[in-house]
Structure 1
């Protein structure tokens, strides 16, 4: 099972703003029987007024993260299994989605000096300023994926599957504004052509270029990245007489 990303954790926390707090709850509907069980287990940590929350989805501070990941830990458990532990004074270096922690309490850092947490029975799940809280550390959690993909102008080179007449090929592509651009050398290899090209730019912009195949000239949309040409797949299909359909990282070309 893939880890929840830091961005997904933050989005999840934002979607739970307003969910009532009850100590020991992990994001499920609290029944009267559950309330009585928790009250017997934890005493004063479960408020008498929490009984009014019966019938509602409730959660506690560590439960908010456990709810997002499906891995149940208490606040101390998150501290003990953290991959990194740093003093809260260095929070400016923390990635979005890091945990903010103090003994007995945990929240989620969302940037701009703010956090989201199930902040106790009086507040429920809320967004608040770190300056108004008492967190002592921030944590890189074992259960969260903090990997950030390298991007250029919000586009990145990734591998995709190209299917031509039923044959499958792995090619490099850039997805820009929902449009696939395929590395021209990969297209040439697939079709059995040699390719030569000139020109390079560092910024990803769509521009028109001339494509010459067997002496025939065509005008196509292309992106130049680090000296490599990426051609709009629909233009390639039109040039070669194919229909093209695409979904996610798979493009399918079939003869008309």
Structure 2
């Protein structure tokens, strides 16, 4: 009888797939595709800021090597859309073809943020990093990015153009939440997230009570005993009222997210400030020799407050619909035209 690690769509099998993909390149917007000239042409047209001319030589090398490419969320799509990744893995170091069916095996085409929202809508377990289960194959989320646990405090992530698919130490990264992927079988560990209310018991009640206590809502008589009684209900209602939520004593999605966020905030206060790391997204100024204007809004009608030289870099914040990039200035958010700036991950 096959073990779980040999069985497609178990969390163990998925984690093993991720580990075997380590070393493959990162191409934004890809989902386990063979690197080809036609793929490069399509993705350059689709995401020009991620495929600038400065990267073409590396992309061409990936094509020559016959690499199979993904972005961060594309890793789990590649696994699901190829039926568990086995054909794809055989093709890694050969010219073998493999089939991929869009949206197959219960895996929708979602962004890194969208997949997290989708998992929550399906009732999958999730939580803050302080409650991360010690299991392989769990998705780790931070805004705009995802990684996948492999055990022993490590994860695999298609990290960026510069890094490709790598193994990292979870505690050294800045993930904010974890969640179970809806199309992966986590065995006996797969439990549906339920709304909690008075009269319920269980480990999930205990975890909620611990979070309430950590957030400053004491349970002096019974503590975190796993029994949702009046004391817990009163503390939860106080938390809800203090945070602008409906004070109904029910621990549902909105309350869960608010308590997770508050608990995370309290934990962060105890940590030293996180220094900016080299893999954080940057905007690079590109000009033909002259300075580029930085403005207070995403258009030339906004006031110019600074200028930047060709090659100067800024911390990336966001991109507007018109292509202008928001960057971190010394005292305010500044904007630069997409014609004179590119995103470097």
Whose strand proportion is higher, 1 or 2?
1
Q: Does 1:81 align with 2:118?
A: yes
TM-score by length of structure 1 reads 0.53
Whose helix proportion is higher, 1 or 2?
2
* Cα separation, 2, equivalents of 1:22 and 1:124: 8
Q: Does 1:58 align with 2:69?
A: yes
Count of residues in correspondence between the two structures: 147
Larger Rg: 1
Q: 2:26 aligns with which of 21, 28, 36?
A: 21
1:26/1:64 contact within 8 Å kept: yes
Q: Show the counterpart of 2:193.
A: none
* Cα separation, 1, equivalents of 2:155 and 2:33: 22
1:3/1:143 contact within 8 Å kept: no
Specify every segment of 5 or more residues in structure 2 that has no aligned partner in the other structure, as ranges. Answer: 1-6, 82-106, 190-345
Q: CA deviation at 1:33?
A: 2.1
Relative contact order, CA 8 A, sep 6+: which one is greater? 1
Superposed CA offset, 1:174-225 (max 9, x none): xxxxxxxxxxxxxxxxxxxxxxxxxxxxxxxxxxxxxxxxxxxxxxxxxxxx
* Cα separation, 1, equivalents of 2:161 and 2:50: 9
Q: 2:141 aligns with which of 58, 83, 101?
A: 101
Specify every segment of 5 or more residues in structure 1 that has no aligned partner in the other structure, as ranges. Answer: 150-256
Give the ranges of 4+ consecutive aligned residues of structure 1 lying more than 6 Å apart after TM superposition.
none
1:3/1:145 contact within 8 Å kept: no
Q: 1:117 aligns with which of 118, 133, 157?
A: 157
Q: Considering only aligned residues, what root-mean-square deviation do their CA atoms show, in Å?
A: 2.0
* Cα separation, 2, equivalents of 1:77 and 1:3: 24
Q: CA deviation at 1:46?
A: 3.2
Superposed CA offset, 1:65-100 (max 9, x none): 111112343312320121122111222x35321101
Q: Does 1:130 align with 2:170?
A: yes
* Cα separation, 1, equivalents of 2:137 and 2:42: 32
Pairs within 5 Å for 1:1-256: 4-47=9-52, 48-49=54-55, 50-52=58-60, 53-54=62-63, 55-70=66-81, 71=107, 72-82=109-119, 83-91=124-132, 93-148=133-188
